[in-house]
Amino acid sequence: RDFNERCAQCSEVNWGLTDGGRFYCRSCHNVTERTREVVNTDFITNSRVQTISKGLKKQEKIDGGCEWYICEGFQLVLKKQVEALEALGVCPQMKDEILCNFWRCYLQKSKQAYCKRPAGETVKTLSVCESSTDVDSDPERPSLLHLLSLSESEGDLQTDCSFASSVSKVSESTSVYSGSVDGSLYLMKNQKEKLRMTMPMTLSFCYLALLWVREPITLSELLRFVVEGHIPYMNVFQHFPEKMKLCGLDLKIFCVESWPVYEEVFNKMHELAAFLDLPRFPDITESCFLHPDMLCMKYLMEANLPDELHNWTCRVVKKIGIGEVDFLTLMPGNKSTRKVKYDVLAAAVIVVVLKLLFLLDDHYEWLLSEFAEERNKNNTEVCMFYSGGPYFEFKKWYEVVKHTLDVEQKKLDEQKAKYLWRCEKPLFYSVKNKSKVLKRRQMVVNLQNQFGKLSGSVQRAEKPNPSSFQLSWSEENRDGSCFHGHSLKGVLQEKCGLLTAMNPDYWLCTVKLCNEKLCGHLAHYREVEFPQSYHFVLGLFSFLLRIQPSYIHDEVCMIEHKLFNKKLCKKLKYNTVLRK
């Protein structure tokens, strides 16, 4: 009450006392150097001590850093990532209401915070974690992602009663050097049982929160934004505060030397949801962006395919039931439900529809293309007036899209080849090598600047704004490169009042599906065993989703078996009878 100075950071007058007797701001959790003055030193000689103070936390080390834990580092990474997502237009509630609760639940489940000391822990401390009666604490915990160790109030995460605190003394005596308190013990094998936090798991946390609020961002888009630098992931540790020294084993945890993999982030997301015991997620309905009908519309536009194909994708989705709410909604821990990859599923539906109409056997689609080309040449004006657009030519579409795809793929390969994996902030594995690393880094920067001036190289331009579409096609172009308004009448026929495909045949990618749990795939994909047209379509969506074609092939096989289930059962029974 007697300390009325304003906080240097937030200019508020709302002070509390730490266990060490120092003042901290309850608004921004800034700890000052000012300590509480003792007014009355009188005491009763035979009084019994009722509380034990935790003592002042060691803030300054020999190298000028402070004590920090690995979970605090990941907390800062999550903060940077969720702030980047908010800048992209994600709802602000995702940060404090969704991701914050997921993170706190993870810390509690993994026994790193918000819990009592784990039973059976090999390392135990002698200090008693009890709150002092003369300490004024804030009962409310802060909003998401304030530095834990830099704020000593009891309103912060209770790391003093966590596993991190129980290993702090042992970490100091270990021979392996690290900047964090628990860096060496964090990599021990026994920690894998607790779903140990990793850098790819930070993206799993983000996607889990995006899925809960049903934001229009798929996992493939999230990973693409990471690669393009819109979401911090590579070298994100350089944004750590100066007091959080990162060296030694900490680099093995936070330093990433490869791009995030779709399958790894996806599987970790489901493991995380089951580990946290999360309830059933909000329903994925037809009006939701993640519904196959909505995603098919998006990918048809991006693949430069006719708009009329959307009616066929909706028919396939409805017939095999992959648009049902129970099929699409995530239910953590339910092993009977299939893990849905929304973007891959939508792309596979489009591939199946193209096979239904054009067969994609390197023969039938070219015959249809020749027929459509002749009709467009002979009757262009009539075709444009009566059908609403020219007949769709598969050959012309293939040539236009392949040229654009090759150009964009070359740009992507060049960007990956030119990417500088080293961060701007120098890293060192020990204090002894710090001066050498700093000198070498400064020498490299000077040489780069000198060679840049001599060669006249232009500085890199600023990153373009992120977009959901990688390929854009405008109907205003007069060169005929946009196929959105083209007609499918050249491949359809009217039968019993319904439009059906002229093509009566269909070839299956595989007759029998593999066990996904044993071999990791529903079917094996080898390019030489399939037609080039089919491979090109898979390659197109593989580029758009930035995943391997084999994953799209798996979903295609799954959809085909749902679509032709009765015919497959009859064929299998017939083959069994012949064998007998």
In this model, does residue 121 exceed pLDDT 80? no
Average of pLDDT values for 125-152? 34
Question: Each residue of 428-437: pLDDT tens digit?
Answer: 655 667 677 7
Cβ 43 vs Cβ 71: under 8 Å: no
**Closest C-alpha to 69, from 159, 199, 203, 194:** 159
Q: How many CA atoms lie within 13 A of 26 on its CB side?
A: 13
Residues 6+ apart with CB under 8 A from 197: 70, 71, 74, 106, 110
How far is it, in rounded angstroms, from Cα 184 to Cα 177? 8
pTM of the predicted protein model: 0.77
- Residues 261-307 have pLDDT tens digits of 999 999 999 999 999 999 999 999 999 999 999 999 999 999 999 99
Which residue from 436, 425, 20 is spatially nearest to 245, judged by alpha carbons? 425
Band of residue 161 on the pLDDT scale cut at 50, 70, 90: very low
Alpha-carbon separation of residue 261 from 367, 548, 557 (angstroms): 39, 10, 22
Q: In whole angstroms, how far apart are CA 153 and each of 156, 250, 357?
A: 6, 26, 66
Tell which wins on pLDDT, 29 or 192.
29
What average pLDDT does the chain have?
Answer: 77
**How many other CB atoms sit within 10 Å of the CB of residue 237?**
23
User: 315 or 510: which carries more pLDDT confidence?
Assistant: 315
Q: How many CB atoms lie within 10 A of CB 551?
A: 23
pLDDT of residue 198: 92
| Confidence band for 182, pLDDT divided at 50, 70 and 90 | confident
d(CA 188, CA 539): 41
Burial bucket for residue 262 (CB in 10 Å: 0-12, 13-18, 19+): buried
Tokens encoding 147: 């530095």
Q: Is it the case that residue 479 has pLDDT exceeding 70?
A: no
Top-confidence residue, 509 or 9: 509
The answer, yes or no, to whether residue 83 has pLDDT greater than 60, is yes
Strands laid side by side in the 15-17 sheet: 15-17, 22-25, 31-35
Are 204 and 272 spatial neighbours (Cβ–Cβ below 8 Å)? Answer: yes
Is residue 45 over pLDDT 80? no
Give the phi and the psi of residue 382 in degrees, each rounded to 5.
-65, -40
Percent of the chain with pLDDT over 90: 39
Q: How far apart are CA 245 and CA 233, in angstroms?
A: 19
In the three-class reduction of DSSP (H, G, I as helix; E, B as strand; rest coil), residue 363 is classed as coil
For residues 249 and 174, what is the distance between their CA atoms, to the nearest angstrom? 12
**Which pLDDT score, from 0 to 100, does residue 203 have?**
97
HSE (side-chain half, CA atoms, 13 Å) at 488: 22
Whether the pLDDT of residue 163 is over 70: the answer is no
| pLDDT surpassing 90 at residue 61 | no
User: Looking at 23-37, 104-118, 451-465, which range is the least confident one?
Assistant: 451-465
pLDDT, residue 63, reads: 53
308, 488 contact by CB (below 8 A)? yes
Nearest to 181 by CA among 19, 58, 24: 58
Count the neighbouring beta carbons within 10 Å of the beta carbon of residue 242: 8
Within 13 Å, how many C-alpha atoms sit on residue 238's CB side?
A: 12
Which residue is listed with tokens 């990918």? 299
Identify the pLDDT of residue 281.
Answer: 95
Tell me, what's the pLDDT at 7? 80
Domain boundaries, the chain: 1-36, 68-112+196-278, 292-408+479-567
User: Between 378 and 380, whose confidence is greater?
Assistant: 378
Specify the higher pLDDT residue, 301 or 25: 301
Pick the residue with more confidence: 119 or 345?
A: 345
Closest CA to 186 of 170, 201, 202, 203: 170
User: What per-residue confidence (pLDDT) applies to 547?
Assistant: 94
pLDDT (0 to 100) of residue 37:
58
pLDDT at 569: 60
- Give me the pLDDT at residue 176, please: 52
Mean pLDDT of the region 187-207: 82
The residue among 219 and 19 whose pLDDT is bigger is 219
φ, ψ dihedrals at 274, nearest 5°: -70, -35
Asked if 473 contacts 301 with a C-beta cutoff of 8 angstroms, the reply is yes
pLDDT at residue 218 tops 70: yes
pLDDT at 412 over 50: yes
| DSSP symbol at 364 | H
Collapsed DSSP state (helix, strand, coil) of residue 524:
coil
- pLDDT bracket for residue 566 (50, 70, 90): low
Q: Confidence band (pLDDT; 50, 70, 90) for 43?
A: very low
Q: Say what the pLDDT of residue 293 is.
A: 96
Per-residue buried b or exposed e for 395-412, using 16+ beta carbons within 10 Å of the residue's own CB: ebbbebbeebbeeeeeee
227 close to 546: Cβ distance less than 8 angstroms: yes
Return the pLDDT at 321. 94
